[in-house]
Amino acid sequence: MIAIGSFEGSGSGSGSGSGLIVGGLIWSGLVSRGSDLGTPSLIKGLPLRLGANRGAAAAGGLNKLNVLVNPNGIKTRPNARLKVVCHGMLAPRKFMQRRRKVENHQTVRLLRRAETTIKSQRTKGEALPRDLVLGTLVRFKQLKKWKIVSEILEWLRCQHWWSFSEMDYLMLITAYGKIGDFNGAERVLKYMNKKGYPPSVISQTALMEAYGRAGQYNKAEAIFRRMQSSGPEPSPVTYQIILKSFVEGEKYQEAENIFQSLLNEERSSFKPDQKMFHMMIYMYKKSGNYDQARRLFAQMAEKEVPQSTVTYNSLMSFENDYKEVSKIYDQMQRAGLKPDVVSYALLINAYGKARREDEALAVFEEMLDAGVRPTHKAYNILLDAFAISGMVDKARIVFKSMRRDKFTPDLCSYATMLSAYVNASDMEGAEKFFRRLKEDGLRPNVVVYGTLMKGYAKGNNLEKVMRVYERMRLQGVEPNQTIFTTIMDAHGKNSDFGSSVVWYKEMAARGFPPDQKAKNILLSLAKTPEEQEEANKLVGNVVDLSEDKVSNLPDFDGNSEVQTNEDLTGETVSKFSDLDVDDDDDDLDFVSSEESQ
């Protein structure tokens, strides 16, 4: 996994020759005239990082990249060039393995230490030092291990040597709120009422969040409205959480009303903050109102609300054109903000969808060079970029790199890799990889079966299409709309109008409204006036059997279809930019009241 290139140059009198660039160093065959150097010298040169110049990669492709160089110690012609012969994709970075190990070991070590200490205390029947308990709770809170926080606090509540204070109850109900356990939150609230603790903004917000995370949006709203009318007065964190609940529950009008009331009312004690703006931008993106999202982005600057990487990521996620995504990415960097893994993933996805695989790879390398750890989804997005174009060899390198960097490929990874074989029309390779998928212990889903069926339909192999379909049904996997459309396509290639009608009706009977692709297949197969009349009735068209109308029907050419994850799942592998509002109560110091005594 190294970068190899060739160097050509000449001096004005001191030497001439050529050399190789290997791993960012120049292995030179240059021998200076009048010098006693008789063997090649290893001279440091320019590191070969494609991520540093996406434009150069775009212009010539990975195998044609020309970069001007003038290494120290070598006199060359002004137009001396570096020609890349072979690029070692995704060379391993040490920080990848080191950081992942450190992060994992820290969490595991903390868990083991807490478990060992508690077991030891149970055996001895002795009280634990308060500093140790509180420090452990705070650390787990920072790690957002709220399930563990709730378990420790529930255990402490039953210990005679621990005086469970109001702040302990608040931390416990907050933990239940974060994990969406509204039953636990309700139970804690009852305990607090019995103890005589009045309802607080923290306890009410936590209960509201528990309902929201559990999908009980109406109950979450009821608590918020009660807080508005009779107190305690909602805090900024309360507003952040209720906005998130409304957006997740697709109660967009309610979210907009609350946001506008904060924005416009002079009597409001605070104005919308960055997190609220982010949530609203995300809401407009989710509802498809991109213009309003852009206006809100501009309004942040007007209101002097600081913009962050998350803000720009939201804008990037709106765009389908790679040029626009790249423009926003550059704008973010000019604003002095560092791209995060989501930024890189969105840019990689944009290049991949545009079939600009070289740029997609260059951005991924740029991300690694910047020391940003890729996520599982980021790898899947890069894998998809090569799979779309049927670039099997490069897709396999990405697939192997995932394992090397300790990311176990998931079912989406396997489905994407399978689609690379299908798009390369390599059904023999697709069959082998399908067997490997099962050998690796994964259970094929409708996406995997659909990918295989689409490959056979593309090759006009109706028998194998139906064989895969029957196998899928035997495994208990239910078909989706794309499966039925693929079967119709296979029959269409055999000019079998009758069978296509049967599957068209089956699709509708299963509750899948036929899409335009299915309608086009049916209309293009109808040849006789009777068939045309039946097809038009089925698709809901007004019957017009004139020759001109029939000849203008859209043809369906299955060979032009490219297999992507988006075709099969209805969403791209880059569903990556969904905001997870970090609404932790960082301003709250959850320390038992005894600590201050």
CB 151 within 8 A of CB 184: no
Q: What is the DSSP letter of 560?
A: G
Q: How far apart are CA 388 and CA 395, in angstroms?
A: 10
Question: For residue 3, what pLDDT is reported?
Answer: 39
Q: How far apart are CA 268 and CA 185, in angstroms?
A: 29
Question: For residue 374, what pLDDT is reported?
Answer: 86
Residue 199, preceding peptide bond in cis (omega within 30° of 0):
no
Q: How far apart are CA 66 and CA 21, in angstroms?
A: 13
Q: What is the mean pLDDT of each run of 10 residues along the chain (597 residues)?
A: 39 39 34 34 33 43 39 42 44 54 58 64 68 88 92 92 93 96 96 95 97 96 96 95 96 95 79 94 91 92 92 89 93 93 91 89 88 88 89 90 86 95 95 94 95 94 95 94 91 87 90 87 88 87 42 39 46 44 42 37
Nearest CA to 158 among 199, 193, 118, 185?
118
The CA-based angle 223-270-288, given to 5 degrees, is 70
Q: How far apart are CA 332 and CA 318, in angstroms?
A: 15
Question: For residue 125, what pLDDT is reported?
Answer: 60
HSE on the CB side for 297, CA within 13 Å? 23
Nearest CA to 51 among 358, 393, 388?
358
Q: What is the DSSP letter of 55?
A: H
Tokens of 469: 């379909």
Catalogue the long-range contacts made by 22-27 (C-beta closer than 8 Å, 24 or more residues apart): 23/48, 23/88, 23/91, 24/48, 24/49, 26/71, 26/74
Q: Is 410 helix (H, G, I), strand (E, B) or coil?
A: coil
Unique residue bearing structure tokens 């970068």? 3
3-state helix, strand, coil in the chain (%, to 5): 60, 5, 35
CB 11 within 8 A of CB 47: no
CB 539 within 8 A of CB 524: no
Question: For residue 230, what pLDDT is reported?
Answer: 93
Q: Distance of CA 414 to CAs 270, 348, 354, 506, 567, Å?
A: 49, 19, 22, 29, 16
Nearest CA to 22 among 45, 41, 39?
45
Question: For residue 404, what pLDDT is reported?
Answer: 84
Q: How far apart are CA 281 and CA 561, in angstroms?
A: 33
Tell which phi-psi region holds residue 260, choosing left (phi > 0), alpha (psi between -120 and 50) or beta: alpha
Question: For residue 514, what pLDDT is reported?
Answer: 86
DSSP 493-549: HTT-HHHHHHHHHHHHHTT----HHHHHHHHHH--SHHHHHHHHHHHTPPP---HHH
Q: How far apart are CA 124 and CA 121, in angstroms?
A: 5
Query: Which residues, other chains included, contact 150 with Cβ-Cβ below 8 Å and sequence gap of 6+?
Result: 172, 175, 176, 179, 181, 184
What does residue 170 show for φ and ψ, rounded to 5 degrees?
-65, -40
Q: How far apart are CA 38 and CA 394, in angstroms?
A: 40
